Amino acid sequence: MNDAQRNAITQFFTAVEEQKRVGVARTDRFLGDIGEFLCHDAFDMALTKSAREKGYDGYISGEKVQVKYHGGKSTTVDCGNPPDYDRLLVVIGPKNVLRPKGAQGRFLV
């Protein structure tokens, strides 16, 4: 491992700890936590207390909401088990292949 690689790894874990400190990340599932936080912020979604509820991540207007973060190159999204939730929110990351051309904003839901 070279110095640049070592530094990048150190910066990553420092950033993760900061995200936990300020309430963005709740677990070690970093991308999922970021997606849930973005939906909490944008839609006033109440996050589950445990961060480990089976099948859903929070509530909007009393409905169970499942959040999926999709930031990769796959053209499919694992939607979990639809009978476990009422709404599905998919967060599309900045380099996602599903992102519509010309879409504005770093993250789309």
For 78-99, write each residue's pLDDT tens digit: 999 999 999 999 999 988 999 9
> Residue 92: left if φ>0, alpha if ψ -120 to 50, beta else—which one?
beta
Local confidence band at 15 (pLDDT 50, 70, 90 cut-offs): very high
Residue 107 lies in a domain: no
DSSP-assigned letters across all residues of 56-100: --EEETTEEEEEEEE-SS-S------GGG-SEEEEEEPTT-TTSP
Range of the domain at 57: 29-92
Residue 33 lies in a domain: yes
Give this prediction's pTM: 0.86
Average pLDDT over residues 16-37: 93
Residue 54 lies in a domain: yes
Mean pLDDT of the chain: 93
- Residue percentage of the chain with pLDDT more than 90: 85
Residue 106 lies in a domain: no
